[in-house]
Amino acid sequence: MAKNRKSIGNLISDFEASGRLTASEAQEFRDAPKWVVPISDIASYLGGLVIFVGLVWIVVALMQDMSQATIDAALFIATGLTAFLSFTLIRKGGRLSTLGESIAAVSTMTFAFAIGLLLDILNVHDDFILLIASLVALSIGIWLLKGTSFIGTIIIVVATQPFMAAVISKFVPDSPIAPLLFVISGSMLIWISMRNIGLRFVARSAGAASILFAAIGFSTWDNNIWQPIVGFAIVASLFTFGANRLHLEIVAAGGLGVTITTGILAGQLFDSPLAQGISVIGVGAIIVIIAIAISRKGKSVT
């Protein structure tokens, strides 16, 4: 478990007191914003969005007068052009790289749509269309992960859940194990966030949210006791992992999950609302006691 750590403000004060920072330098650090997004980056994101809207607009216009095959060919051509433009800009580096990554998202979505439409033309089942198209996007995201600063992570986060939903729809529909597959996909996103990638916070948050909703869904799938127990174990593990790694977004998701699954389990165990309330309070008291014991050992979550 991570050791107790000081906040940025405390570190600045310590450096100022020790003479490593002057008073004016320390104040500049205190006044500096935590997040800064250059206007050029914002313009790049907006430019990528406008390009995507324009492509959608063109596709809608083409759909009125052209066959599916012609539209699909146009999508593949658009994919090639945007991919070429994207990688050209990324190679140039600097501010143009941000625009290039935004266009890479457009190219990936266009390619996924093109693959989906091609499969529809070939009369492939809908479940397989979603499965293959999302897998294509997911593969591109993984390929882009290390060579880009943010877009690889975003594509993976966006494509993972549709892919898992397609797997569930095709292979385990209406099965109580279906929510557990989202636990797997959420765990994979958290694992990916531990690599040296951009926007790790986004991958962690998406993974934690996936596990949270999956645990709740599994806990309420059938009217029994063991499923809420499993759901509680899942979110308790998520909470513990977040506390160990000092990731507040994971701690928040795990804590919310523990609260909800405790209520579900209490409803299954006791018929009396009074007993349900007492049991929930008991679990909360245990968590508080454990937190106090941890804090006395010099641990903290930041």
Q: Among 259, 254, 212, 225, which residue's Cα sits nearest to residue 237?
A: 254
Whether the full predicted model's pTM is greater than 0.85, yes or no, is: no
How many CA atoms lie within 13 Å of 247's alpha carbon, on the beta-carbon side?
Answer: 23
Report the C-alpha gap between 215 and 219 in whole angstroms: 6
- Average pLDDT of every residue of the chain: 82
Higher pLDDT, 179 or 71: 179
| Structure-model confidence comparison of residues 257 and 296, the more confident one | 257
What pLDDT is attached to residue 301? 47
- Asked if pLDDT for residue 297 goes beyond 70, the answer is no
Q: What are phi and psi of 247, to 5 degrees?
A: -110, 105
Q: What is the mean pLDDT of residues 178-190?
A: 93
Q: What backbone phi and psi angles, to 5 degrees, belong to 180?
A: -65, -25
Report which listed range, 13-22, 49-58, 96-105, 235-244, is most confident. Answer: 235-244
Of 45 and 53, the structure prediction assigns the larger pLDDT to: 53
Weakest-pLDDT range from 94-98, 179-183, 221-225: 94-98
CB proximity list for 103: less than 8 A, separation 6 or greater: 48, 51, 82, 85, 86, 89
Residue 111 has pLDDT above 80, yes or no: yes
